[in-house]
Amino acid sequence: MEIVVTGRHTQIKQRFRDVVENKMNRVTAIAPDAQRAQVVVTHEGNPRQADTAKRVEITIIAGSTVVRAEASSADEYSALDMALDKLTLRLRRTRDRRKDHRRGYTNPAPVDLGVVEPESVEENEPEEPNNSPAAAVASDLGPGESVEVQVGDTPIVIRRKLHIAEPMSIDEALYEMELIGHDFFLFVNKETGRPSVVYHRHGWSYGVFEIDTPENVAKQ
C-alpha cells in the first residue's frame, strides 16, 4: 500500500512518518486490498486552540471505495491514534457489509459506492496571493484540485474543491456519508439528475436537500 504523508502549515518530521508507516499495519490487516493511504496533518496557529492544534486526516482508497476519518489533539501523535481508531471501525463495518452481501443477507444499506477522487494536497501548500472571495470561485479546477483564499485580514478562509463522482441513490449517499464520517454529503441523485445533499439530523433521522432551477421545474 502506498502511504503519503503531507502537511498544511507544518513540517512533517521523519519520526512521525515512521510512526504512520508502522501503524498502517492496522489498516492492511482489515483491508488488504487498500491501495493508498493519504495522511494530512494540519496545524492550527491560534493559541486559543492549543488543545486541538494538530488535526490528522486519514483517507484510505481501495478501488472505488474511499474511507476517511479525522481527529484533533494537542499533538499529531495522539491525533493520529484517535483518527486511526475511527478509521479502523469504519473499515470493519465496510468489510462486514461486504461479507453479508456475498452471503446473500439482506442489508438495509447498499455497498456500491460512487467514485470519489482522492484529495491531492501538496506539502506546505502555498497561499493564494489574491485574497478576495471571488478568487476562490473564479478559477477553473481540475478533478481533485483545490484552492484556498483568505479574505483580507480576517481569519475567514474560503476553500473550493472539485470532486468527480458517479450519480448515486439516496441510500448510497447515506452510506458514503457514513464512511467518510461527515454530517452531510453532496451528490447527484441518479433518479432525478439533481444536485442533492443528504445530512444527519438527530438520532437515526436524516434529511435530503435537492436543488433545481425554476425553468427546469416548470418543464416537468
pLDDT at position 173: 84
Q: Where in the chain is the domain with CATH 3.30.505.50?
A: 146-218
Q: Give φ, ψ of 26 to 5 degrees.
A: -65, -35
pLDDT of residue 15: 94
Ranges of the chain with pLDDT below 70: 97-141, 143-144, 220
pLDDT of residue 206: 84
What CATH number labels 2-102? Answer: 3.30.160.100
pLDDT > 70 fraction of the chain, expressed in percent and rounded: 77
Q: At what angle do helices 76-103 and 170-180 cross, to 10 degrees?
A: 150
User: Residue 97: what pLDDT?
Assistant: 66
The confidence score (pLDDT) of residue 108 equals 42
| pLDDT for res 133 | 56
pTM for the full predicted model: 0.54
pLDDT value for 110: 41
Q: Boundaries of CATH 3.30.160.100 in the chain?
A: 2-102
**Level-2 CATH architecture, domain 146-218:** 2-Layer Sandwich (3.30)
